[in-house]
Structure formats: structure tokens, C-alpha cells
Chains A and B, each alone.
Chain A
């Protein structure tokens, strides 16, 4: 079955440090890939997405590139801020049949703490 593996945390960085959270996937077909962020006490929010190979999703300074050859979708940010402290989830969604609804398969999440 489809699965997502992401690096285990927690990850602790100082402000302005470079961030990488690794994510690899196993899937049949051509999934869309997502990063979700969950801030303390809140629900998941879509951070960025990529729907096909070599697409780069970006938002709020975060980036991730859909690498089909390495089945990866690593999340990066050049300079993190304290406000980026949250749990980050990598996920995939199969395109399925036309008009059909999708199931999201999530990784276990990586907790990021950014210290001033």
C-alpha cells in the first residue's frame, strides 16, 4: 500500500537556521504530494503541494520539490523563525478515478521548535 516516511523529530533549531525535513514515499500511480502544518492548538493547514514530478511547491518561504526518481518531497526553508514552530506532516494523495475523492496518507509528523 501507499505510505509516507518522514524524518523523526523533534527538530530544534535556532532562529535563521536552515531547515530540512526529509520525506519519502511509496505509491502506485502518480500521487500528489503535500506538506501540512499544525500549529499548537490548531488544526492542520495545507502548507504547500505538488501534483506532478519536478513541480516545486512553495509558501511562506517553505519549498519542496516533487522528485520522482528518488520518491522524495523534502521540505526546506532557508531561514526559520520562532513562529515556524509547529508539527509538519508530509502526505500523499492518489489521483484515483476521475471525479473520485482522494484519501490522504500521512507521515507521522515532525515537530519543529525554533528558539530565539
Chain B
């Protein structure tokens, strides 16, 4: 149980276009979902926290107008990278917390974004 999926697993887009990444909790209701960014040989950096039905809370330095997060239901959150540029190329990872469990996050497999 406690499986989180992401789609797509990898995507290549042209500079200036937008790309949407989906994060789904497959077998549980996720009260909160998190979006991380991972640079090569670096740790995961939290970008934002999203609760179902409310606006996401962004970490300092993360542009909320560039990285749009929507948490429409208890099983789905989306991250849209708007007007992507090559420096947005990275590995994006979501995680979700399980209603009823405390302080554990289940991670998706990640999405590799390459902006050309």
C-alpha cells in the first residue's frame, strides 16, 4: 500500500512552453502533497506544500507564478512549469502523506524534465 505515481516519468519540452506533471496517490487519500526538486548529486529541495482544496504554500525563493500547483482532490496534485527555460531542467519529485498516519511521506518515482 501507500503507492504514489507520477506522470510522465520523463518529458522534453522546448523553451517557452509549459509542461504539467501529475502526482497521484493510488491507494490512499493524501491530505498533503509535497513537490521537490532534485539537482544532480544534490539533495531534494522542497518547493511547495499543497493541501487538498487550498492554495499551495511555496518555499522561499520558489516562484509561485512559474511553478503552478493544483491539489484538486485527495488523490491528485499537479505541478505546471510555465514558460520553461533550460535552467528549469531537473528531476521533480512529489510525495504524499497518508490520512491517519503521522509524519511519513511516500514518494513518487520522479519526473525528469529536460528543456531544450
List the interface of chain A (C-beta within 8 A of B): 32, 36, 42-46, 49, 51, 89, 93, 95, 101-104, 106-109
Given known contacts A46-B104, A106-B43, what 10 new A-B pairs fall within 8 Å (CB)?
A: A43-B108, A43-B110, A44-B93, A45-B107, A89-B43, A101-B32, A104-B95, A106-B44, A108-B43, A109-B43
Q: Is the CB of A44 within 8 A of B97?
A: no
Q: Is the CB of B44 within 8 A of A44?
A: yes
Q: Complex: how many Å from CA A42 to CA B34?
A: 18
Number of B positions contacting A (CB below 8 A): 23
Smallest CB–CB gap between B23 and chain A, Å? 11
Q: Complex: how many Å from CA A34 to CA B34?
A: 17
Q: Is the CB of B107 within 8 A of A44?
A: yes
Q: Give me the 8 closest cross-chain CB pairs, A-B, nearest first.
A: A43-B109, A101-B32, A44-B107, A106-B43, A108-B43, A102-B103, A43-B107, A43-B110
Give 22 CB contacts A-B under 8 Å: A32-B103, A36-B107, A43-B93, A43-B108, A43-B109, A43-B110, A44-B93, A45-B107, A46-B104, A49-B104, A51-B103, A95-B103, A101-B32, A101-B49, A102-B103, A102-B105, A103-B46, A104-B34, A104-B44, A106-B43, A107-B43, A109-B43
